């Protein structure tokens, strides 16, 4: 999506003006980015640009099939604020007959945008027989902001999709649902309306931040004291010769890592809730309307890691060679850093900048090598006729489903009939789209044999059936698609992004503490293979060997 075609608009001034929604696809921002502009001259070039490269025809990422025209930053913040609900908001509990009445009440200041109300809405559903849209009305309990946003929903999408706080992920799902149900044209118009409303609502909300929004948790001093006491104890053990220098360093880094995580947990918990009184005068807790929390929670800007540096503790810093400095920065940007802490910070900041400069070149080279390997891979035949494939199951680790079966088989072609008691649920050769995947969930199917490019028997390249869905278009891949290059660039592109990320976090070392135990969610026996154990005074077994397995 690095090159797209646009209809030109005549403007004053020398700067190129770009639609905000395509910035994600171009990876562009308005801080002095430069772009090349080409004018297609011949009729053939214009035709190709219009049909294949027009921005409104490229709304999905070829890498993962997610929508690329998702709003970001201010727009997300505006939509999120307007769809949040506030306990005991102005005008709570009022009932409105239709949207114009609600709009008048909002303009007159009788209700506020986050208040809970009831309103009669018109919903358009598709008549299965005629294929026409039929209007129906129903009374819904919602908030003022959500009800007013329902006006821009494309026909065929139910109001439920809007009746929640719209975070960035939710907006992405919303645009995806619109694309699958209402088609390309409707979706582009819908995304554009979302953008305009988001900007307008963000301006009306007037969200800003100040130093008092950075709430430093009361428990911080206690956590740091405890960590310091533990570090002192380890220093004494080292002085007595009980632990080696390496063990001491690792333990100290672990202690400070845990302390930092604990403070950021407490801090986020404190930021996320605020006390308020409801209509009956009782004190209740509601999700916070703290500006910094809203920015991070909505996905507009900032992350818990950055808020932790503002209001928690900056934590451990990395040296330029990648090793972690064992004295952490215990203060945060709100309290201010001492001269020594500031000096340690410069280490991390320098590392971030140097990494960005060096690694960008590496990841570009990686993409080049990947493309070199995969460029001959293209879709050449309709069907190679193989019955082989890959058996897909959900990925489960420690009792938690990490990736559901639905996500793994979406957009693949079924290699063998999926049967249940002799009845064929899904015939072989079916392309699994969202509707089929939902059916698989309902049937409770736990494994599916799907066609795969790995088992494809086409002589050159791959066949359409083994490749499956063309993610950028949402239907079965066409002949002649250069799938190898798409795959290579899809792997190489995030590499560049990940490098940039170190620069933004600013060298704060992240080091997850290793799991010290495994919790089992079901009963049964565990086989210990090659594990030497001793029994402690509580009668529990303690493993003393470094290697070993659980069976």
Give yes or no for residue 512 having a pLDDT over 70: no
Domain assignment present for residue 403? The answer is: yes
Q: How many helices, marked H, and strands, marked E, lie in the chain?
A: 16, 19
CA 508 to centroid of chain Cα atoms: 22
Contact 292, 307 (CB under 8 A): yes
Total length of the chain: 551
Domain assignment present for residue 498? The answer is: no
pTM of the complete model: 0.78
Q: Let me know whether 384 and 333 are in one domain.
A: no
Q: Which residue has the tokens 């619109």?
A: 178
Give yes or no for residue 182 having a pLDDT over 70: yes
Q: How many domains does the chain have?
A: 2
Q: What is the pLDDT of residues 315-343, one digit of tens each?
A: 888 877 777 888 888 888 888 889 988 88
Q: What is the mean pLDDT of residues 515-523?
A: 63
Q: Which secondary structure element, helix H or strand E, spans residue 475, and what is its range?
A: strand 475-476
Q: Let me know whether 225 and 324 are in one domain.
A: yes
Q: Residue 222: its pLDDT value, please?
A: 92
Sequence-distant (6+) residues with CB within 8 A of 7 are none
Q: Which residue has the tokens 């329902």?
A: 150
Q: Let me know whether 225 and 312 are in one domain.
A: yes
Domain assignment present for residue 255? The answer is: yes
What average pLDDT is seen over the chain?
A: 84
Q: Let me know whether 316 and 240 are in one domain.
A: yes
CATH code, domain carrying 270: 1.10.132.30
Domain assignment present for residue 148? The answer is: no
Q: Which residue has the tokens 């072609």?
A: 413
Q: Residue 510: its pLDDT value, please?
A: 45
What distance separates the 2 farthest-apart alpha carbons in the chain?
86
Domain assignment present for residue 534? The answer is: no
Sorting pLDDT into bands at 50, 70 and 90, what band is 505? very low
Q: What is the pLDDT of residues 7-61, one digit of tens each?
A: 888 888 888 888 888 888 887 888 888 888 899 999 999 998 888 888 888 888 8
Structure tokens at 58: 């490229």
Q: Let me know whether 237 and 333 are in one domain.
A: yes
Q: What is the pLDDT of residues 208-258, one digit of tens each?
A: 888 888 888 899 999 999 999 999 999 999 999 888 888 898 899 999 989
Q: Domain range spanning residue 265?
A: 211-337
Q: What is the mean pLDDT of residues 525-545?
A: 79
Domain assignment present for residue 62? The answer is: no
Q: Residue 503: its pLDDT value, please?
A: 44
Q: Let me know whether 233 and 332 are in one domain.
A: yes
CATH code, domain carrying 384: 3.90.105.10
- Distance in angstroms (rounded) separating the CA atoms of residues 401 and 449: 19
Q: Which of 103-112, 351-360, 496-505 has the highest mean pLDDT?
A: 103-112
- Distance in angstroms (rounded) separating the CA atoms of residues 159 and 151: 10
Beta-bridge mates of residue 329 = 315
Q: Which of 337, 365, 399 is the last residue of a domain?
A: 337
- Distance in angstroms (rounded) separating the CA atoms of residues 375 and 378: 8
């Amino acid at each position: 999506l690095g090159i797209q075609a646009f209809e030109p608009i005549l403007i004053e001034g020398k700067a190129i003006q770009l639609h905000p929604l395509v910035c994600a696809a171009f990876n562009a921002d308005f801080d002095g980015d430069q772009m090349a502009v080409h004018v297609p001259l011949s009729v053939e070039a214009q035709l190709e640009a219009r049909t294949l490269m027009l921005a409104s025809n490229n709304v999905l990422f070829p890498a993962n099939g997610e929508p690329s025209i998702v709003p970001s930053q201010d727009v997300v913040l505006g939509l999120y604020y307007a769809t949040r609900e506030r306990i005991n908001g102005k005008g709570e509990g009022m009932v409105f007959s239709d949207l114009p009445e609600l709009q008048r009440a909002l303009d007159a200041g009788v209700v506020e945008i986050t208040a809970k109300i009831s309103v009669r809405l018109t919903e358009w559903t598709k008549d299965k027989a005629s294929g026409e849209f039929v209007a129906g009305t129903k009374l819904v309990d919602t908030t003022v902001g959500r009800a007013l946003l329902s006006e821009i929903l494309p026909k065929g999408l139910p109001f439920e999709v809007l009746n929640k706080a719209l975070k960035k992920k939710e907006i992405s799902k919303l645009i995806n649902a619109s694309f699958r149900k209402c088609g390309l044209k409707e979706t582009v118009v819908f995304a554009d309306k979302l953008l305009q409303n988001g900007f307008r609502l963000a301006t009306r909300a007037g969200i800003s931040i100040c130093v008092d929004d950075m709430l430093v948790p009361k428990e911080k001093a206690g956590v740091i004291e405890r960590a310091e006491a533990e570090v002192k104890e380890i220093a004494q053990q080292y002085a007595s010769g009980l632990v080696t220098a390496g063990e001491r360093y690792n333990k100290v880094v672990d202690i400070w890592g845990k302390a930092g995580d604990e403070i950021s947990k407490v801090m986020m918990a404190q930021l996320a809730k605020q006390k308020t009184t409801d209509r009956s005068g009782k004190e209740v807790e509601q999700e916070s309307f703290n500006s910094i929390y809203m920015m991070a929670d909505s996905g507009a800007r900032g992350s818990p890691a950055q808020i932790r540096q503002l209001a928690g503790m900056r934590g451990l810093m990395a040296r330029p060679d990648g090793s972690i400095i064992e004295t952490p920065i215990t203060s945060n940007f709100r309290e201010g850093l001492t001269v020594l802490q500031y000096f340690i910070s410069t280490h991390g900041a320098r590392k971030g900048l140097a990494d960005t400069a060096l690694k960008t070149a590496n990841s570009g080279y990686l993409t080049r090598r990947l493309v070199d390997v995969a460029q001959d891979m293209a879709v050449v035949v309709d069907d190679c006729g193989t019955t082989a494939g890959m058996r897909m199951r959900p990925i489960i680790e420690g009792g938690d489903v990490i990736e559901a079966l639905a996500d793994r088989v979406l957009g693949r072609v079924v290699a063998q009939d999926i049967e249940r008691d002799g009845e064929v649920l899904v015939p072989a050769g079916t392309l699994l789209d969202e509707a089929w995947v939902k059916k698989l969930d309902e049937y409770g199917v736990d494994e599916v044999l799907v066609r795969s490019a790995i088992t494809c028997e086409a002589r050159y390249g791959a066949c359409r059936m083994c490749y499956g869905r063309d993610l950028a278009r949402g239907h079965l891949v066409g002949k002649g698609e250069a799938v190898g290059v798409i795959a290579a660039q899809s792997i190489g592109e995030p590499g560049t992004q990940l490098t940039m990320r170190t620069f933004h976090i600013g060298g704060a070392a992240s080091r997850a503490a290793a799991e010290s135990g495994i919790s089992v969610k079901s009963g049964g026996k565990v086989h210990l293979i090659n594990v030497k154990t001793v029994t402690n005074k509580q009668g529990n077994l303690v493993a003393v060997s470094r290697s070993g397995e659980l069976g």
